[in-house]
Amino acid sequence: MRRLALLVAAAAALAVPAATTAGGGVTVFAAASLTQVFPKIDRAPRYSFAGSDQLALQLQQGAPADVYAAASPKYPELLYHQGVVRKPQVFATNRLVVLVPKANPAGIHSVYDLRRKGLKVVIGDKSVPIGSYTRQILDSLGITNDVLANVVSQETDVKGIVAKVALGEADAGFVYFTDSRSVVKQTKTIGLPAWAQPPIRYEIAVVRSTKRAAAARAFVARVLSKRGRLLLKRAGFGLPR
């Protein structure tokens, strides 16, 4: 019971979009998969972590933010063309893995095992990057229909997927490699073929309406700096050239 309580607490922390404030005045809207690493790069900003699509919609509606960082070029580029943000820059890459509970009661050893009827698979909603990337890799592998038939939940960000697998509420879920590292004691990962991996690129941009332009640019510079890149690499992200 004590172990279950700890897992529930950990899952709750993973599933809820995080916001942290430590002064500094700058507000950063960032993809949920950046929850652990961004505060290590800079503790000062106020962070709001959620699905990239949710954050983009908030920015379109005029939400007060100074920097936007997404897990896909789709939304930063869209906002750039709409005049909401300044020119985005790629700052990190990632890859997909299949996450299963540590005990792996369903006996999943390959992504192709997810075609078996009766499995409980969790993926991201198609509107968020993790959901879009998942569908891309399933299409590349030629197993889309069989796997989607086993989907029992579509989450609005990757933290929701991680939480359900860690709690044993699902047999498997598609997540970013970086997010799998936070639950290594409760789960294990199954690799996916490198040739089928979609290009996962994270982009960051300064919001045009910011009244803290200098501070926002300084934050972006810290993310792109040698130290920022080192911390991203330590967190499991890939780095653009």
Q: Given the structure tokens 């929701």, which residue do they identify?
A: 160
| Dist CA 164 CA 178 (whole Å) | 17
Domain ranges of the chain: 2-93+201-234, 94-196
- Say if residues 28 and 48 touch (Cβ distance below 8 Å): yes
94-196, CATH topology level: D-Maltodextrin-Binding Protein; domain 2 (3.40.190)
Radius of gyration of the chain, Cα coordinates, nearest whole angstrom: 18
Q: How would you write the pLDDT of the chain (241 residues) with one tens digit per residue?
A: 444 344 434 444 433 334 443 335 899 999 999 999 999 999 989 999 999 999 999 999 999 999 999 999 999 999 999 999 999 999 999 999 999 999 999 999 999 999 999 999 999 999 999 999 999 999 999 999 999 999 999 999 999 999 999 999 999 999 999 999 999 999 999 999 999 999 999 999 999 999 999 999 999 999 999 999 999 999 999 999 8
Tokens encoding 1 = 């019971």
CATH 3.40.50.1820 fits 2-93+201-234, yes or no: no
- Which residues are paired to 187 by β-bridges? 101
2-93+201-234 and 94-196 in the same fold = yes
Running DSSP on this structure, what letter comes out for residue 42? -
Q: What is the per-residue DSSP string for 97-115?
A: EEEEETT-TT---SGGGGG
CA-nearest of 208, 214, 203 to 25 is: 214
| pLDDT score of 87 | 98
Q: Give residues with Cβ within 8 angstroms of 142, minimum separation 6.
A: none
Which helix (H) or strand (E) element contains residue 38?
helix 38-41
